[in-house]
Structure 1
Amino acid sequence: MRRPSFLSTDPTAARVVPATGFTAALTIVSSAATAFLAVFAIALSLAAGDLATRWETELAGTATVRLPAADEGQDVQVATILEALKQTPGIGTAHRLDDGEQAALLAPWFGTDLPLDSLRLPILIEVTEIGDGPDVEGLNLRLEAEAPGAVYDNHGRWRAPLAEAAGWLRKLGTVSLILIAGVMAVTIALAASAALAANGQVIDVLRLVGARDAWITRAFVQRFTLRAAAGAGAGTLIGMIALLLMPGGAETGILAGLGLSGVEWLWPLVIPPAAALLAYAATRAAAARRLGSAP
């Protein structure tokens, strides 16, 4: 199978493009930086999808009864609520959350060092629904009569906003990838244009002695494509290492889900080839403008 032109080695053509200098450093550094950012944009997009799925799974079929904390009589109210829930059609199970369970719920947001003893947290009763669930309005009326202040919440008002927020996070990650690709392409095109301008006299002499535009273009395309691929490869590797070194667990708060797992680690490996293709297209376009021929 024939290799792409930018992978073919031509030492004579490569001499047209300086191996070092400002344009070489600009191409490699910009490719590495944008690839590093692309790794985190991919992680953000994938984490947002996982987050939306987890939120939907955790909230579906569950509900919570909240009862404001009271100095006395709260145990009687809790018993009354549990009895009312037991008698309500559409309710599967119900149990009161202890301090440890409440701490686990708050850990993703406030960490594990939250002093629960100094806070007057409401009493929470976790409920699982069966079938179509209970009549929420009727159940709230009964709870208000038997245990004033108790509220039955089936999380309906939370599901849509959370799913929408996760969807926007995924879109943000996708838009970030598009912007990163655009910045990389523009930077490489500018670097290629600068190299072409700096070597303008050499290019003119080469054309006078019979060098074809395709030969000159291939020299620049080869150099800048390989530079972009090398820089993107380094940036991708550093980004993946940074993701691996990020702390995980509940103590990291709501950022605990930002990362990659399983086959998701294969996605960043697409970045270096994509950077090479962007550099190939951008350099050919810049060379076409300078040489006055179609890419």
Structure 2
Amino acid sequence: MSSRNGPAPAERRDKDTAGARAPEGGARPPAKAARSQPSASRRQGPIVPASSVSGSTLVIVIAIMTYLAALTVGAVDLVRTAANDWSQDVVRETTIQIRPAEGRDLDAAAARASELARAAAGVAEVRTYSRQETARLLEPWLGSGLSFDDLPIPRLVVLRLSPDARFDAVGLKAALDREVPGASLDDHRRFLDRLVSMAHTIVWLGVGVLVLMLTATVLSVVFATRGAMAGNRDIVQVLHFVGARDGYIAGQFQRRFLRLGLKGGVAGGLAATATFLIAELMVEQGVGSATVDQMDALFGRFQVGASAYAGVAAIVLLIAALTAITSRATVYRTLRAMR
């Protein structure tokens, strides 16, 4: 029953409740659906930021180290190839030198030495240099236009050795001592030994430079990993609190730094490859110049072989692997220190 003063108290409570359930502007979505909205739009981000100043700096450092290491590999391969070519040329050739002396007929002595050389076993070709040809061999050091009449220039007989027969150096040397006074047989063994020693020294120096560069790369990765862990210390602690294992955290850092190592390594390797190709192109365009001729005389044809390019690819993969392994080991060591 209602009165003139308004509805009964029970009726007012029903209206108030209905008003709370249906506010102005339409019906309100269920509370359960409203709570599920934020969780559906939440995205799980990586532990290590995808881009940071330290990450970009590490990529640049790795690229520079890879570039220098690849250049070292190319230089070592060039010297090794040149040394092999030198040694093969030296092994295939030997020289008879006839020193001038008072009363000695160099032309007759050279002719007799040539006859003995042709009769020796293992000799494929014999060439006797005239006085003028011998003098031209000295022009790169003494210059042209000089008179060599008063100089004691020896006479040379060059022997080209056969690859199919063994050269009898002992027998030929004994025959020269008997029949051609002042003649000596030079098999270039001393020069070859020095050449091999120099090549080995350069190779070991290159290996030492590579070790230093890889060490510097490892140290850079260690500092970058520690900086990344210090910047994400709160996240790492929360993960530990919720039960994440060290292997999971280390794997997150390892994947991140592996990508950084590959990015920097590929950039440095491509830069080194471009440098090799540009250098070969410049040498080909400068053929005939004095500088290129001297380089050809020293190293042969300037060409980086396939082994050098394979070495560059190996350096890129090695640096990427070292980056990943170093970061993982650093994370484990840092996590143990945080406990």
Shift of 1:196: 1.4
> Superposed, which structure 2 residues align to 1:92-241 within 5 Å?
92-97=124-129, 115-118=143-146, 123-129=155-161, 131-134=166-169, 135-142=171-178, 145=181, 148=182, 150-241=183-274
Structure 2 CA distance for partners of 1:263 and 1:137, relative to 1, 3 Å: closer
Which structure has the higher relative contact order (CA within 8 Å, separation 6+)? Answer: 1
TM-score (norm 2): 0.66
Structure 2 CA distance for partners of 1:204 and 1:94, relative to 1, 3 Å: same
Q: Distance in 1 between matches of 2:257 and 2:239?
A: 20
Which residue identity is paired with 2:255?
A: Q
Q: Distance in 1 between matches of 2:134 and 2:305?
A: 27
1:31 and 2:62 are equivalent in the alignment:
yes
Structure 2 CA distance for partners of 1:223 and 1:142, relative to 1, 3 Å: same
Structure 2 CA distance for partners of 1:291 and 1:94, relative to 1, 3 Å: same
Structure 2 CA distance for partners of 1:227 and 1:78, relative to 1, 3 Å: same
Shift of 1:139: 4.0
Which residue identity is paired with 1:141?
A: D
Shift of 1:258: 6.4
- Say which is worse superposed, 113-122 or 277-286, in terms of deviation: 113-122
Structure 2 CA distance for partners of 1:215 and 1:282, relative to 1, 3 Å: same
1:251 and 2:284 are equivalent in the alignment:
no
* Partners of 1:44 and 1:258 within 8 A in 2: no
Q: Distance in 2 between matches of 1:257 and 1:53?
A: 13
CA deviation string 1:138-170 (max 9, x = no partner): 24424652xx4x432111222233223323333
SS at match of 1:124: strand
Structure 2 CA distance for partners of 1:240 and 1:68, relative to 1, 3 Å: farther
- Say which is worse superposed, 276-285 or 204-213, in terms of deviation: 204-213
Which residue identity is paired with 1:275?
A: I
Q: Distance in 2 between matches of 1:100 and 1:200?
A: 79
* Partners of 1:44 and 1:259 within 8 A in 2: no
Shift of 1:278: 0.6
Which residue identity is paired with 1:178?
A: V
Which residue identity is paired with 1:221?
A: Q
Q: Which residue of 2 aligns with 1:242?
A: 275
* Partners of 1:14 and 1:220 within 8 A in 2: no
Question: How many residues matched?
Answer: 274
CA deviation string 1:99-132 (max 9, x = no partner): 78997x899xx7xx98455485754321134534
- Say which is worse superposed, 114-123 or 280-289, in terms of deviation: 114-123
Q: Which residue of 2 aligns with 1:289?
A: 333
Shift of 1:175: 3.6
Shift of 1:42: 2.2
Which residue identity is paired with 2:52?
A: T
SS at match of 1:292: helix
Structure 2 CA distance for partners of 1:172 and 1:190, relative to 1, 3 Å: same
Q: Distance in 2 between matches of 1:189 and 1:106?
A: 57
Q: Distance in 1 between matches of 2:147 and 2:47?
A: 72
TM-score (norm 1): 0.74
- Say which is worse superposed, 38-47 or 26-35, in terms of deviation: 38-47
Which residue identity is paired with 2:177?
A: L
Q: Distance in 1 between matches of 2:206 and 2:76?
A: 5
Structure 2 CA distance for partners of 1:207 and 1:97, relative to 1, 3 Å: farther
In structure 2, runs of 5+ residues without a counterpart are 1-42, 284-291
Task: State which structure, 1 or 2, has the greater radius of gyration over its C-alpha atoms.
Answer: 2
